[in-house]
């Protein structure tokens, strides 16, 4: 039986480097699973940037003071313009199953450079059962220096 439209993409390597997309970040992007750790959310957000999964990026980064339509346009433009080439996690602090917050330090390679960031993640509403959310960059550096 022929595979559906999305079946081929599920067999592709996941942009985050965690295996096949269909078993790694794909289920998170489709809402079939939720991130269990801050690192898993960070990896899935990197993959979302690489694959243009704008709805997922919006859902996992609350910015109530900004218009959703503006965020969507900016993210779509960013996803089209940047060619992500690889991810390395360099440090993780907290962000586990029983934690309410955590940080993930990473290097994301893109055509033309490397983005180095330490990201802060927190549970939605500060609740242990809340979904992990990206809050902000604590430290952000690219090849040109601090951003």
Q: What is the pLDDT of residue 8?
A: 61
Query: Average pLDDT, whole number, for the chain?
Result: 92
Q: What is the pLDDT of residue 34?
A: 97
Residue 43 belongs to some domain of the structure: yes
Residue 86 belongs to some domain of the structure: yes
Residue 47 belongs to some domain of the structure: yes
DSSP H/E element including 74 = helix 68-81
Q: What is the pLDDT of residue 145?
A: 55
For residue 84, give its domain range.
7-146
Structural domain tally of the chain?
1
Tell me the pLDDT of the chain (147 aa) as tens digits. Answer: 344 444 568 999 999 999 999 999 999 999 999 999 999 999 999 999 999 999 999 999 999 899 989 999 999 999 999 999 999 999 999 999 999 999 999 999 999 999 999 999 999 999 999 999 999 999 877 765 544
Q: Which residues of 20-38 are buried (b: 16+ CB within 10 A; e: fewer)?
A: ebbebbbebbeeeeebebb
Residue 2 belongs to some domain of the structure: no
Residue 102 belongs to some domain of the structure: yes
Task: Please give the DSSP secondary-structure letter assigned to residue 20.
Answer: B
Residue 1 belongs to some domain of the structure: no
Q: What is the pLDDT of residue 143?
A: 66
Cβ within 8 Å of residue 38, ≥6 positions away: 92, 94, 95, 96, 99, 101, 102, 103, 104, 121, 132
Q: What is the pLDDT of residue 2?
A: 42
CATH number of domain containing 14: 3.10.450.50
Residue 28 belongs to some domain of the structure: yes
């Amino acid at each position: 039986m022929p595979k559906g439209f999305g079946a081929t993409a599920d067999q592709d390597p996941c942009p985050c480097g965690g295996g096949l997309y269909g078993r790694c970040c794909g289920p998170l992007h489709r809402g079939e699973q939720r991130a269990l750790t801050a690192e898993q959310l960070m990896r899935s957000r990197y993959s979302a940037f690489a694959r243009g999964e704008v709805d997922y990026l919006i859902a996992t980064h609350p910015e109530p003071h900004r218009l959703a339509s503006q965020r969507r346009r900016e993210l779509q433009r960013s996803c089209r313009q940047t060619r992500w080439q690889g991810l390395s996690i360099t440090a993780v602090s907290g962000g586990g199953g029983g934690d309410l917050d955590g940080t993930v330090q990473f290097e994301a390679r893109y055509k033309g450079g490397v983005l180095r960031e330490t990201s802060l993640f927190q549970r939605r509403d500060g609740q242990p059962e809340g979904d992990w959310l990206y809050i902000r960059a604590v430290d952000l550096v690219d090849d040109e220096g601090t951003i």
